[in-house]
Amino acid sequence: MAKLIDGKLISSQIKDELKAEVEELKAKGVTPCLAVIQVGNDPASCVYVNNKKKACAYIGIESLSFELEEQISQEELLTIIDELNHNEMVNGILVQLPLPKHIDENTVIHAIAPEKDVDGFHPETVGNMCIGSKGFLPCTPAGVIQLLKRSNIDIEGKECVVIGRSNIVGKPMAMLLLRENGTVTITHSRTKDLKEITKRADILIAAIGKPKFVTAEYVKEGAVVVDVGIHRNENNKLCGDVDFDDVVGKVSAITPVPGGVGPMTIAMLMNNCVETVRQ
């Protein structure tokens, strides 16, 4: 029987640990404060932003909300970010992506001060992660590492295969597995003989963005499978990049969707917010 890696449980344990830590910090007069910027009111972004604010409230992190109209110019947005960069009360800045088409996401990401970059997307933050220096880790890949560690799954020396090479998931995922001493292969849409490579994996991470792409023939008997994907199917039910029902009988451990990687992303964002004030 495959072990179900319970992201809901592990994320709530992390949030409880952070809540206790924030109580101690508050007793010393320190309260972390996150500025959350949303441009427009895309329904999915509204859900994500609300969940982030709720997690802040639960842990005791102060959150400042900037709900900006869709038409705001890039210059105006950059001015707000610049003010928040210089505001000593604000420890972390989060700009909910995606942004409207007239705003260049890269310019906005570059504008956030690296010491307040709790999403971990600024090039300086990415560079620090790559060379193993101290700094924020990108939330979704860091959440995957926590899922594995807290489920007592060793990464050291394991064949780790990542499907996907996006800047937000695939590439940083590979770097973090490498930092944990995994032997890492990155695969992508131009990879030849994908199944031959994924079948080598002791730990297979799927971040493809294609519903139920990974079937049993992509996985080795006894592998650990982590599904980063998140989709709504034709019946409005959530599913991942992995065909869970097809794969579950073959693997030793697997993350479900929902309740796997998803809740970990917010928990790790909260960890980064607390990190801004850790001594």
Rule CB under 6 A: which residues touch ligand NAD?
Answer: 140, 163-166, 168-170, 187-189, 191, 194, 207-210, 228-231, 241, 261-262, 265
Nearer to ligand NAD, 163 or 251 (CB): 163
Would residue 119 show up in a list of annotated catalytic residues for this protein?
A: yes
For residue 136, give every residue at least 6 positions away whose Cβ sits within 8 Å of its Cβ, in sequence order, or none.
117, 118, 119, 120, 125, 272, 275
Nearer to ligand NAD, 114 or 209 (CB): 209
Looking at residue 93, the DSSP 8-state letter turns out to be E
Nearer to ligand NAD, 8 or 154 (CB): 8
Please state, in angstroms and rounded to a whole number, the distance separating the CA atoms of residues 52 and 211.
25
- Which amino acid belongs to residue 105? E
- Which amino acid belongs to residue 34? L
CB of 191 to ligand NAD, least distance (A): 6
Nearer to ligand NAD, 37 or 266 (CB): 266
CB 147 within 8 Å of CB 264? yes
Would residue 96 show up in a list of annotated catalytic residues for this protein?
A: yes
Would residue 52 show up in a list of annotated catalytic residues for this protein?
A: yes
Q: At what angle do helices 170-179 and 123-131 cross, to 10 degrees?
A: 30
CB of 55 to ligand NAD, least distance (A): 13
Please state, in angstroms and rounded to a whole number, the distance separating the CA atoms of residues 173 and 164.
9
Given the residues 6, 117, 119, 227, the one annotated as active site = 119
CA-atom Rg of the chain in angstroms: 19
Residue 134, classed as helix, strand or coil, is coil
Nearer to ligand NAD, 84 or 273 (CB): 273
CB of 23 to ligand NAD, least distance (A): 27
Given the residues 15, 52, 220, 250, the one annotated as active site = 52
Residue 159, classed as helix, strand or coil, is strand
CB of 163 to ligand NAD, least distance (A): 5
The residue at minimum Cβ distance from ligand NAD is 166
Please give the order of strands across the beta sheet that includes 62-68. Answer: 62-68, 33-39, 92-95
Given the residues 38, 96, 158, 212, the one annotated as active site = 96
Active site residues: 52, 96, 119
